[in-house]
Chain A
């Protein structure tokens, strides 16, 4: 009875472990914005939010044939634990994939991971101490930042322009951080068909940035999920193609095959590689043997280069549909026009707040990702990321038309209240997550 009385006096917060969570989990919380994304999965909604590959463009018999052969010929291996580094044959084939982007290396330096997302996690576990600084483009890939922050790093955004990360800005940021006595651990970059900005780092800048990193003893983490999905000319070769010791390279089959396999990889200098293998074993024992063998079989038997060509065609058509729809319905806005990848980065008129505008978009049955998701400090409200990878060209046109209504309605609303007081959206508590759910990233 005494305990009941005490409990009644204290009340019930519905989570008896509330005070037990690690500090680094403070950002893991539901939020109003995240809840709104739930609607994006409904068929009535045109979702321009998700970065989901259009896997329907992959003939299913190619995959089912590979699966059948694996089970028939290597079933016992496929269903068993495997090596923490990944299956040797697949690591050899990964070298062939990377060669398309100018990278040469040894299969010994490849570690297969559970999607490149897991490589990001392992790399962060190896390198980040609380309080470290991670340099990243501004904006940057949302879920990389979630990982960096979960290891209690501070993400310092370096500005980009239409040619990618700005080397001079990188120099300035490093100098400022050094002066402040901060420890910069690495530069995280998506140099080719950037997520979310859609831009590609020029070759000259790649060399310059590598030189800056060398001079300042900063490791480069090159994340390249989209490099093979170009629409016209090939993009510049990967940064790893010219710098072996100072770059850890991340690749994935999620975009060139299918994300459901959850197979990616890291190519790392040998000392880092050894630690990544141990970390991988500690985390998952071994990546999925089944998925690795199926992909290996697919790469060995199917015309995977032709399939990548097919994906390029699909995404090129969708990108063109999005750009023409933007030109037709939102000519007053500016946006990037990517030569590959999945994303267009749109700049809204001044004073519009993409996060605050999201409820109106849901009402209009269109979803996008607010720019705030791509900045660690929650800035970026004047931008939105539009994904053209998943919806059909027709739906993209419908979605952009709806988006134009949303923007028009919001502008109308702000004009109504112009001059009556500050109209900037109230800052939200940063400890709740405004990030989209996994299938929308």
Chain B
């Protein structure tokens, strides 16, 4: 890359969300990748000086690596749109849709992708209708096992797999500790896969699905961020026609939510080979133990090259 071709890129990472630590790691990896291919990269935290800095510095593009609220819920992206600075990733409106897991399930379900039966309940509902009767109705309607998670957020924070009825109250408490709304979802048994979707201008492309097999238990926060605690298969061990269905479900979800540039779609493939949509992430984790970097490698591509192509796509889209 010549000096002239190199871009001035601001990587945004950190912030004050529950996922700050993960964001810093993602951001450093993105910055390393972009540096490696010759771009001029500034690494910044979002703070009181950010907007003035962007106005003054006029970078070619911003590469948001902010996980969690503000970064993924559309707030910061909305402000970036107002500044006119090109940025990588989904726009504010699409981010808001994906950030809400129940909304994303609805939209992706309407687009024809299966998604597990669920109910979304704010904490107030339990107060209003009585926790005992609400829990009983949930159990009668959805059965066991269940997955309880905050309606927003990532990294499996506040997520519990409930296998017995008496585990449900504490699971609700753990989810509500992260936010006021919880999603209770019927757990589908099957192979857990994640699909990174990349669109650098030629339409969304599903990278090889990555299969996730925790060494023990579930794919929890600990299993995600301690190397060695999860076994990944990239590409996933799926029959070709199932792999094609998974890729199709991922790109369908990406498009149904109006996502842009990159996303990660989490799915379960049941015994019949049906992919079930769980959630979409507008900023996939890009840490040393994250899934998307493995998908990029499995696709035979370089991290820096992909992050660079996304940056150029953002400029082209602006």
Contacts and interface: CB of A to CB of B under 8 A. Distances in A.
Interface in B207-230: 211, 213, 215, 220-222, 225-230
A11 interface: yes
A94 interface: no
A421 B165 contact: yes
A424 B166 CA distance: 11
A438 interface: no
From B132, B168, B229, name the one whose CB has the most chain A CB atoms within 10 angstroms. Answer: B229
Contacts of B43: none
Nearest to A353: B173
B20 A420 contact: no
Contacts of A429: 222
Interface string A400-424: 0000000000100110111111111
A12 B172 contact: no
B174 interface: yes
Interface string B196-215: 00000000000000010101
Contacts of A45: 16
A30 B21 CA distance: 11
B222 A414 contact: no
B234 to A, nearest CB: 7
A402 to B, nearest CB: 13
B230 A13 contact: yes
Interface stretch (B54-62, B87-95, B123-131, B187-195): B123-131
A362 interface: yes
A14 B16 contact: no
Chain B contact-residue range equals 35 or more
B199 to A, nearest CB: 26
A422 B162 CA distance: 13
B18 A39 contact: yes
Interface in A69-128: none
B169 interface: yes
A4 to B, nearest CB: 12
Given A11-B231, A12-B231, A13-B232, A38 B20 contact: yes
B169 A420 contact: yes
Interface in B19-69: 19-22, 24, 47
A38 B21 contact: yes
Interface string A20-38: 0000000001111011101
Contacts of A426: 160, 167, 170, 174
Interface string B165-189: 1111110111011110000000000
Nearest to B22: A35
Nearest to A420: B169
Contacts of A38: 20-21, 24
Given A39-B18, A432-B226, A417 B172 contact: yes
A11 B170 contact: no
25 contacts: A11-B231, A12-B233, A13-B228, A14-B228, A14-B232, A14-B288, A15-B228, A18-B228, A30-B222, A32-B155, A32-B221, A42-B16, A359-B18, A359-B157, A359-B177, A365-B16, A414-B173, A416-B127, A419-B132, A420-B132, A420-B169, A421-B135, A421-B167, A421-B169, A426-B167
Given A14-B288, A43-B47, A413-B123, 11 more contacts: A8-B237, A14-B228, A42-B15, A356-B174, A363-B179, A365-B16, A416-B123, A420-B132, A420-B169, A421-B166, A429-B222
Minimum-distance CB pairs A-B, first 6: A18-B228, A38-B21, A15-B227, A11-B231, A15-B228, A421-B169
